[in-house]
Structure 1
Amino acid sequence: MSGRIREHASTIVVSALSSLFAVTLILFTGILTAAIDPAVIEGSGMFRLVLIMVAAIFILIALYVGAIVTANTFSTIIAGRTRTIALLRLIGATSARVRARVAGEGLVMGLLGAVLGFGIAEALCAAAVAWGPELGWLPAGRDYPLFDPLTLIAVAIVALTTWAAAWSGSRRVGRVSPIAATGAAVELPAERSRRRPARTVWAMILLIIGAALLAIGIALGLVTPLALFIAFFGGLFSFTGIALGAHLIMPPLLRLSGRALGSGPSGRLAAANAVRFPERSARSTIGLVIGVTLVTMFAVALASYETMTLQAFENDPSLREELAGTLAVTTAVFTGLVGFSAVIAAVGLVNTLSLSVLQRTRELGLLRALGFTGAQVRRMVLAESAQMTLTALVFGLVLGVFYGWTAAVTLLGSQSGMMAPTIPWPIIGGVAVFGIALALIAAAAPARRAIRVSPVAALAAQ
């Protein structure tokens, strides 16, 4: 039982974070609406509608990232349960039945996490309403709502999204044959991973469509701000293509980052592991790539938008100063909201690496039997975490700068023309520091677990 809880810890945490984010945004939308003086803003229903639309965008982003992290987690779990699934198939269980059982686990864990997130969000909002007037954050004497029917819908959506992601992540069940009962954790090797024509073709199609729409959006952005919608779909298609083709894109990038981290035995083994099992390395990194891309994209888009807007009001210093303050606050708020999705992605990286170490008991035992010391095994696990984090950071930063610049140009290109992207270096630096800390945190527990592996017991493990 403890093993199952450990496997699903990431699922519970991710669904709890997604639910916490969604419920908090919905409740604070109602609280902010109640805090507005009707004499200042008439018809606050429209204001609430706008807030809900903005909140919905960020909720969808969090659900999207959470779904990918959950699907990758269940793919890793399935790889580690190959022997158990094969034994079930051997005694007559169908792949559909086993897959439904795995998806059912996802639904239960997702619902558990969603309810937990709901409770925490309610407590946070209750504390804000109780202490807000005293601290001067909220006007006193208002009736602030602490419940909204939309929150129950959000909880249900989080649970159903987790179930759908678990179903998607368990698609490998059908490929587990009864003969695999003689093995242990099984990952697709590089040759078989590359021989997935349907997935590769779809990835190429989405990338081509996305690139074409992005190019059209940038060109039309010099004429009309409506080009932003074209660029939005271009970014959506192109990034989905990158996610689908991650098993081909990420290993070469991981190989390069592995070489940059050193050429010792531990570093070489860590770099080889990334290429030897492309799907495992892609699952570990693509979620973090999404998080870094989102944070960077919004930061660059808002910074470029601020630069273009302020240039348009150079002749009005007072208005320009007022706009600068407003845009700075907006940038901080939006970056913080998107940063929540990066935290969800980081949870996925930590859990995937932990599960990977748990499922490689025999491999680690063999290394110890061949003479690897505990320190060398620890360095190998740390090098794997570092190269995955470094790759995700660099790749995500490049994508985020490009997507952010595209958003700003398509929105304001008709007024300001083609401009170079404005890079918010403090935020980029914060992302880099976050990545370094994440690499150390992600490797800490797996490294301790790895050096405790007894060579004799590990080689006897199945």
Structure 2
Amino acid sequence: MSTLDHLREHRPSIVVSALATTFGVGLLTVTHVFAQLVARDGAVSSSPTVANLLSLVASVFVGLALYVGAVVTANTFATVVAGRAPTIALLRLLGSSARAQRRAVAREGLVVGITGALLGTLLGTGLVIGAVRVLVGQSRLPDADYSFVSPTTVLPAVAVVLTTVAAAWVGSRKVLQVTPLQATAAAQDEPVGSRPRRVGRAVVAGLLIAGGGVLVAAGVVLGFADASGVLVAFVGGVVSFTGVVVGAHVIMPAVLHAVGRSFGTGQVARLAAENAVRQPERSTRATIGIVIGVTLVTTLAVALETLRTFIDTIVDDPSYAAELDTMFTTTLAVMMALVGFSAVIAAVGMVNDMSLSVLQRRRELGLLRAVGATAAQVRRMILLEAAQMSVTAVAVGVVLGIGYGWAGAQALLGSAGQGALLPPSLPVGVLVGLAITAALLAGAAALVPARRATATTPVEALAAR
């Protein structure tokens, strides 16, 4: 397979890298422009402090986007390597070493990272320049000689290249498991029964979840005496959620199975449900990025909504309450836009994993067509698989987000609430938006794969390797 063909396989990874770079460069460039405005207004003494604060906030959100992008990229490379197993095995049979093949995949990660970083840098800078020109033309910004380049704006591009290479190296570890004997077999992930149980990984995940849960509970309890309990709860949330990510290969298949059963007992629905859990690692790769994004969005939304509800109960002045309500609404919208970008990156990853999964199952789908399944039934099965994964990912993320958001708000407000437990306030608009997103994501993830699966005749599909 040529380098060009390899790059075609990684087009979604290039998109993810470009999106992460665009987000990072755009956010830091906006911060740089805003710092110039602060200095222009005469607050020279305070402008370094403002600039540093803005850079810190921007770095947090850029870090989130890079983290989700790294997870998606690693999953994509793992899926691509699984699809190349026969080719890799044949090269092994001809004398190539597994480490040489893995280095080749890692080099692809370097090309993907550089390509995405260059595209994202140009796009992010261009978007900010265009936005500033429009705002100046509308007299919303003063007409000045703005600088759009600073040392910090190149950091996202460098970080994207490094994280993409690291993610490619992590995702390519499956190369080491490919043996020359597999040159005679079709490429598929190992089925559930033949995969050795990863006891160590499951134990580490359990310890992280349990330890983080204890810290979250301790933060809530400390919050009754002092608002600093929110810091303990935050650390606990990070630790426990890391445990969820580490143990996703155990958690996600179990939830997928439960969701799949709710889709009905018909033949097509049962096939879709079994396919989603038959390869747990593949399903986990497709869904964990969405879980991360939805958890972040829901956590922020629930925490801010609970804080707003609490303040509304203690403020007697209607006009002041209206001002606070506007402030919270604006803050929530900005935070959702920033954090939601990581969910967009994860969505691209899910669509890509679903497409690669269908491509690798051409023989299986061809066999279904050969034994009597219609094209419509195959399309419906793929749609149900995508719906099952998107619903599961959104549901898990919402449940985790509600828990984390409430714990953070309770730890922060416990002392002000005179020891009372505050009920979590659910942002209905955000939850409805997530439900709609799940439906749209399922459709997007199934559209191209379903068309590809039914465009090939059963004979051609059965002949595929």
For normalisation by structure 2, the TM-score amounts to 0.95
Equivalence for 2:322: 321
SS in 2 for 1:145: coil
The answer to whether the 8 Å contact 1:222/1:418 transfers is no
Letter in 2 for 1:263: T
Letter in 2 for 1:434: T
**1:283 has 2:285 as partner:** yes
Equivalence for 2:48: 45
Q: Aligned equivalents of 2:48 and 2:320: distance in 1?
A: 29
Name the % identity.
Answer: 49
Letter in 2 for 1:55: A
The answer to whether the 8 Å contact 1:193/1:279 transfers is no
Q: Aligned equivalents of 1:188 and 1:421: distance in 2?
A: 42
Equivalence for 2:30: 28
Equivalence for 1:76: 79
Q: Aligned equivalents of 1:163 and 1:206: distance in 2?
A: 27
Equivalence for 1:449: 452
Q: Aligned equivalents of 1:332 and 1:136: distance in 2?
A: 24
Structure 1 residue 135, shift from structure 2 partner: 1.7
The answer to whether the 8 Å contact 1:103/1:166 transfers is yes
Letter in 2 for 1:71: A
Letter in 1 for 2:339: V
The answer to whether the 8 Å contact 2:215/2:233 transfers is yes
Structure 1 residue 40, shift from structure 2 partner: 6.2
Equivalence for 2:273: 271
Q: Aligned equivalents of 1:137 and 1:366: distance in 2?
A: 62
SS in 1 for 2:416: helix
Q: Aligned equivalents of 2:264 and 2:44: distance in 1?
A: 60
**1:377 has 2:378 as partner:** yes
SS in 2 for 1:261: coil
My pick for the range that moved more, 75-84 or 181-190, is 181-190
Q: Which of 174, 182, 185 is the matching residue for 2:184?
A: 182
Equivalence for 2:361: 360
My pick for the range that moved more, 284-293 or 186-195, is 186-195
Equivalence for 2:97: 94
The answer to whether the 8 Å contact 2:301/2:430 transfers is yes
Structure 1 residue 54, shift from structure 2 partner: 0.7
Structural mapping, 1:114-129, within 5 Å: 114-129=117-132
Equivalence for 1:331: 332
SS in 1 for 2:423: coil
Structural mapping, 1:3-402, within 5 Å: 3-36=5-38, 38-39=41-42, 42-138=45-141, 140-193=142-195, 195-312=197-314, 314-402=315-403
Equivalence for 2:415: 414
Q: Which runs of 5+ in 1 are unaligned?
A: none
Q: Given the superposition, is the C-alpha separation of residues 194 and 275 from structure 1 closer, same or farther in structure 2, using an over 3 Å criterion?
A: farther
The answer to whether the 8 Å contact 1:221/1:228 transfers is yes
Structure 1 residue 309, shift from structure 2 partner: 3.0
Q: Aligned equivalents of 1:395 and 1:41: distance in 2?
A: 47
Q: Which runs of 5+ in 2 are unaligned?
A: none
Letter in 2 for 1:21: F
My pick for the range that moved more, 49-58 or 31-40, is 31-40
The answer to whether the 8 Å contact 2:188/2:360 transfers is no
My pick for the range that moved more, 257-266 or 114-123, is 257-266
Q: Aligned equivalents of 1:290 and 1:192: distance in 2?
A: 29
The answer to whether the 8 Å contact 1:259/1:271 transfers is yes
The answer to whether the 8 Å contact 1:203/1:244 transfers is yes
The C-alpha deviation readout for 1:25-76, integer Å capped at 9, x for no partner, is 1000011222235346851111111111111111111111111111111111
Q: Aligned equivalents of 2:203 and 2:138: distance in 1?
A: 57
The answer to whether the 8 Å contact 2:25/2:124 transfers is yes
Aligned CA-pair RMSD:
1.6
Structure 1 residue 198, shift from structure 2 partner: 2.0
Equivalence for 1:440: 443
Structure 1 residue 377, shift from structure 2 partner: 0.6
Letter in 2 for 1:242: V
The answer to whether the 8 Å contact 2:18/2:120 transfers is yes
SS in 2 for 1:409: helix
The C-alpha deviation readout for 1:72-120, integer Å capped at 9, x for no partner, is 1111111111111112222222222211111111111011011101100
Letter in 1 for 2:166: A
The C-alpha deviation readout for 1:355-401, integer Å capped at 9, x for no partner, is 00011111011111111111111111101001001111111111111
Q: Aligned equivalents of 1:6 and 1:370: distance in 2?
A: 32
The C-alpha deviation readout for 1:131-172, integer Å capped at 9, x for no partner, is 21222332x233322111112121011111011011111111
Letter in 2 for 1:187: D
Q: Aligned equivalents of 1:128 and 1:409: distance in 2?
A: 39
Q: Aligned equivalents of 1:27 and 1:370: distance in 2?
A: 58
The answer to whether the 8 Å contact 2:7/2:112 transfers is no
Q: Aligned equivalents of 1:200 and 1:191: distance in 2?
A: 17
Aligned residues: 460
Q: Given the superposition, is the C-alpha separation of residues 194 and 270 from structure 1 closer, same or farther in structure 2, using an over 3 Å criterion?
A: farther
Q: Aligned equivalents of 1:125 and 1:200: distance in 2?
A: 44
SS in 2 for 1:415: coil
The answer to whether the 8 Å contact 1:306/1:327 transfers is yes
The answer to whether the 8 Å contact 2:268/2:380 transfers is yes
Structure 1 residue 316, shift from structure 2 partner: 3.9
